[in-house]
Amino acid sequence: MTTIGVLALQGAVREHARAIEKCGAKALEVKSADDLQKIDGLILPGGESTTMRRLIDTYDMMKPLKRFISVDKPVFGTCAGLILLARKIEGSDDNHIGMMDIVVQRNSYGRQVNSFETSLEIKDVADDFPGVFIRAPHIVSVEEDVEILCEHDGRIVMARQGCMLGCAFHPELTDDSRVMAYFAKMVRASILARIKR
């Protein structure tokens, strides 16, 4: 059985777990480096990236997280999770996990539209996905080997680089499991690739 973990230090954990199980995988709340050994793929949820970073350091998880990604295990960052993955955060000299070749801007939607929902066209996923944005970041630019999967209003809001997937919105807050199904497929493919090796 495929097991997908959700980093459970802070943020929208339970909603992701529900979406994972809807896709036929087992969900595990990841609270320590040891938990990373038990999963085939990992979700970095939405929440507050600076708080999550502090907790990652407190629980000594930064190196184990980087190791998990460097052996090509799939990881999916949503909203704050996307910020954790980014190589560069605009206006900051610090990054967090920093392994995805993208530049992100935090809180890039102005005050009136702090939160909104809009229909998104996502490559290989859906023509009409309900995108829920909450104090969302967006991807300002991507390097060559990053594939842009979705743009909204001229801004990149979802992209993939190898085993890393990231989006600025919250698929777990809708009943639509197509984005999660896409990630679960990435995870299953990576298990198969590992067996063949």
Q: Which of 15, 152, 163, 172 is catalytic?
A: 172
Q: How far is CA 87 from the centre of its chain?
A: 14
Non-local (6+) Cβ contacts of 67 within 8 A are none
C-alpha distances (whole Å) from 39 to each of 3, 8, 75, 130 are 5, 13, 11, 28
Report how far residue 85's alpha carbon sits from residue 66's, in angstroms, rounded to the nearest whole number: 10
| Residue 47 lies near ligand GLN (rule: CB under 6 A) | yes
- Give the one residue of 55, 62, 126, 134 binding ligand GLN; rule: CB under 6 A: 134
**Catalytic site includes residue 170:** yes
* Residue (70 or 107) nearer to ligand GLN, CB: 107
Contact 43, 79 (CB under 8 A): no
* Residue (49 or 174) nearer to ligand GLN, CB: 49
- Secondary structure element (H or E) that encloses residue 64, with its range: helix 62-70
Q: Which of 15, 23, 79, 150 is catalytic?
A: 79
Closest contact distance (angstroms) between CB of 127 and ligand GLN is: 24
| Residue 28 lies near ligand GLN (rule: CB under 6 A) | no
Q: Where are the beta strands (DSSP E) in 106-163?
A: 115-122, 126-134, 138-142, 147-152, 155-161
Q: Segment contacting ligand GLN (CB under 6 A): 19-27, 29-37, 44-52, 180-188?
A: 44-52
| Residue 119 lies near ligand GLN (rule: CB under 6 A) | no
| 3-state DSSP helix/strand/coil % of the chain, to nearest 5 | 30, 35, 35
- Give the one residue of 5, 46, 130, 131 binding ligand GLN; rule: CB under 6 A: 46
Interacting residue ranges for ligand GLN, rule: CB under 6 A: 46-49, 79-80, 83, 106-107, 134-135
List residues with catalytic annotation. 79, 170, 172
